Amino acid sequence: MTARFTVTYLVQGDAASIAARAEAIAVEQSVEMPVAAIESAAVLRDVVGRVEDIADQGNGEFAVRIALATATVGSDAGQFLNMLFGNTSLHADVVLQDVEIPAALAATFGGPRVGIPGLRARIGVHGRAFTGSALKPQGMPPDALATLAGRLAEGGLDFIKDDHGLADQGYSPFAARVTACAAAIAAAARRTGHPTRYIPSITGNLDQMRAQLRLAREHGIDCAMVVPMLSGVANLQAVRAAFPDIALFAHPSFGGAARVAPELLLGKLMPLFGADAVIFPNHGGRFGYTPATCRRLAATARAAGVPALPVPAGGMTLDRTAELLDFYGQDTMLLIGGNLLMARARIAEEAAAFARAVAQHPYAQDHDGH
């Protein structure tokens, strides 16, 4: 008997045909050929996907559990996604809902290295949630972004991240932007006494990502944001291995999360591959995630080997600070970008008010999810 991992797919269908559809998915996600043409007894026994369970969820939707061979993954994160949803992602009637990750695979990928405890230790933040904001809009030159970064840092925020649209564009090249923003944030941190961290956005191919991370490290930066669905998750793994000192924030861009359950893609898989913090669209913001999805996503991220930090974002507003801290508790970072930028010239004061609200919030002692 060889090791298997169990994947749950939500499949649209009817009771008469779901068993055959489930078998077809099990074959598609394993040997991808007619089982009748397989001559190897070992492949038939150890590699062909096995339907473990089919549960009628009502409304023409079935939860199909399929056991796939762990040996098919090797040690490659991309190949793990390939086994989970490679060709089946092309079928519109299937959503990848969940996977139970065996200990051997969890050890192979390693998970978050810094996570919530490392971030708390670095910034000296305990007993409250983290605060964060974002540098926007893209199109601004480095000095304008640095001015904005300095003002936000003067408010005493914990993290200031690049907007995920900031890449290595002509009007704001990575090196110039990061150099200017790092200096502005460091200067503000010296004034406030609070060790505000800058999170630059890392883009391009793996060589470019490493060059950007080396440059960031030279500026004393110990956090970085990656977009794993664009960089490739294997390259997230490579960065995790090469930069153990850098806390990695995963951005959900290009996550197409309507086809992969957000709890799985963002909450479970990104930490598995090494994300120390996971940015995701908060309920009631610009995206359609439900409170239940957000709660599960946050709980899943915190359940990683080293707990990963859930970072709700995406249209959050300052007036929701108390509500969101009640919802997420203290093991979170509130990331408020555009709404904070509405303060324009008063942005340092608004950032300070935001930081105060998070510091003074009466956190529940035994909050849901952690």
Q: Shortest distance, CB of residue 276 to a second copy, whole angstroms?
A: 19
Q: Shortest distance, CB of residue 124 to a second copy, whole angstroms?
A: 30
Would you count residue 42 as binding a second copy (CB under 8 A)? Answer: yes
Closest CA to 316 of 293, 344, 342: 342
Q: Interior CA angle at 175 toward 173 and 179, to 5°?
A: 120
Would you count residue 291 as binding a second copy (CB under 8 A)? Answer: no
SS (H, E, C) the chain: CCCEEEEEEEEECCCCCHHHHHHHHHHHCCCCCCHHHCCCHHHHHHCCCEEEEEEEEECCEEEEEEEEEHHHCCCCHHHHHHHHHCHHHHCCCEEEEEEECCHHHHHHHCCCCCHHHHHHHHHCCCCCCEEEEEECCCCCCHHHHHHHHHHHHHCCCCEEEECCCCCCECCECHHHHHHHHHHHHHHHHHHHCCCCEEECECCCCHHHHHHHHHHHHHCCCCEEEECHHHHCHHHHHHHHHHCCCCEEEECCCCCCCCCECHHHHHHHHHHHCCCCEEEEECCCCCCCCCHHHHHHHHHHHHCCCCCCEEEEECCCCHHHHHHHHHHHCCCCEEECCHHHHCCHHHHHHHHHHHHHHHHHCCCCCCCCCC
Taking the C-alpha atoms of residue 67 and residue 189, their distance in angstroms, rounded to an integer, is 51
Q: In this chain, which of 38, 63, 211, 352 binds a second copy, going by CB under 8 A?
A: 38
Would you count residue 150 as binding a second copy (CB under 8 A)? Answer: no
Q: Shortest distance, CB of residue 101 to a second copy, whole angstroms?
A: 18
Binding mask 299-328 for a second copy (x = CB under 8 A): ---------------x--------------
Q: In this chain, which of 33, 55, 104, 121 binds a second copy, going by CB under 8 A?
A: 33
Binding mask 44-83 for a second copy (x = CB under 8 A): --xxx--------------------x-xxxxxx-xx-xxx
Q: In this chain, which of 97, 138, 179, 192 binds a second copy, going by CB under 8 A?
A: 138
Tell me whether residue 135 or residue 189 sits nearer to a second copy (CB atom). 135
Would you count residue 341 as binding a second copy (CB under 8 A)? Answer: yes
Q: Shortest distance, CB of residue 296 to a second copy, whole angstroms?
A: 16
Would you count residue 17 as binding a second copy (CB under 8 A)? Answer: no
Binding mask 96-125 for a second copy (x = CB under 8 A): ------------------------------
Matching residue, tokens 């480095």: 142
Tell me whether residue 342 or residue 359 sits nearer to a second copy (CB atom). 342
Q: In this chain, which of 224, 260, 261, 333 binds a second copy, going by CB under 8 A?
A: 260
Tell me whether residue 123 or residue 176 sits nearer to a second copy (CB atom). 176
Q: In this chain, which of 337, 351, 355, 361 binds a second copy, going by CB under 8 A?
A: 337
Tell me whether residue 167 or residue 304 sits nearer to a second copy (CB atom). 167
Tell me whether residue 281 or residue 329 sits nearer to a second copy (CB atom). 281
Tell me whether residue 126 or residue 344 sits nearer to a second copy (CB atom). 344
Tell me whether residue 78 or residue 102 sits nearer to a second copy (CB atom). 78
